[in-house]
Amino acid sequence: MRIPTYLAIALLEASAVFAVPSWSSSEHLPLLSPRVAAGRASKRPNHPIAPKHPGRHFPASPPRTKTCYVKSNGNGKDDSAYVLKAIKDCNNGGHVVFERGKKYTVGTALDLTFLKHIDLDIQGTIQFSNDTDYWQKYAFKQVFQNATTFFQLGGTDVNVYGGGTLDGNGQVWYDLYAKDIYILRPILFGTIGLHGGKIEDINMRYSPQWYNLVANSTDVVFSNITISGASTNSNPAKNTDGWDTYRSSNIVIQNSHIDNGDDCVSFKPNSTDIVVQNLVCNGSHGISVGSLGQYIGEVDIVKNIYVYNISMSNASDGARIKVWPGISSALSGDLQGGGGSGAVSNITYDTMSIANVDYAIEITQCYGQKNLTLCNQFPSNLTISDVTIKKFTGTTSKKYDPLVGYLVCSSPKTCSNIKIEDVDVRSPTGKNGYQCGSIPGIETQVNCTKTG
């Protein structure tokens, strides 16, 4: 059973020190808190990229030489002008402080893609206003899946830290989405066109949709992030991915705790050279490659991905690769597509503990298409190759018992060199079956129930 949000938040607020546990649970979720006096700047964190590394160089970030403090109106009045002034005053070598104990309200879409050599020290709370009409009109429109963001942060050499909280005021959006699935819900944190930067020691709460979009960015590290914030009523917080990467490379996501209702991390089109490690994921849809191949005429490439040391609990999937078929289809009114092309290659999932997860491993090329016969008639235009999934342990949920995984491609010509090694995952009745189809050689690696 998934831990209720109110209990998860209470546990978050009770903890001050973060460590990645080896078990799958939402207990002891951290609330990161800077150990500095009010009015003082935080010391920049120094979280090493470890144990895995993408292999490419990350640029150094020199010390800052000036400090700017952000004013706050209080009483929920828009502080965006104060925020923008402090950032402009301290751009090119400064340190901007959102003071501990203060609450800042942002009710204006802020384009922060001009940043250079700047630290944003968020010790207090930044909450985005609940004016849904304004945000649907003025939130920044990104180029993928109708995504929008409250703000967009980009530029060169930007660090964000401080132990404070970003609050997306999500409940009003969850309620609105329950009435109209076509509304545009902003993403809480938009890393758009950032080249060299670290986002560390930050709490992210109640995002209307995805928590993080990393787009058109390079050389960015996320460390010590906590994500949580489900609905407080019967209207669910949907599509609340932890991270979605898009057209980005040399990205690290590590040492974080995610309690959400969709992908813990998702590698969207043209995500390359990425390491995800030391995460605790609860209530998610797994760590996913995709979805890919959604748009006709688009070529989606995802390659050189390493996922290491993940604790996955109360989720629909552990490791997941999801690709649309070669014909257009509709998964829902606001999510449809298929017919795009591309390739998934050199993907490794290494070490994952599973607890109450529906499928430990899922590979599908029929995402969004319920008619498998039609899907096989129009195989995916996107290939999957050189995938290694190893060192998985634990127990799945009872949903698909006796199956623990789903490994089905739309044609044996579109999938190759998929390896499942040292996986000891069982269903609640002790079985370890997989539904298999059109993946060459898979029958010699797992206990298959053949389909397609």
Token code pair at residue 123 = 């010790």
Dig out the tokens for 239 from the structure.
Answer: 């599509």
Contact status, residue 114 vs residue 153, Cβ threshold 8 Å: no
State the catalytic residues.
285
- Angle at CA 167, nearest 5°, toward 306 and 239? 50
Q: How many residues does the chain have?
A: 452
**Cα–Cα distances in angstroms (integers) from residue 336 to residues 238, 321, 384, in the given order:** 16, 17, 21
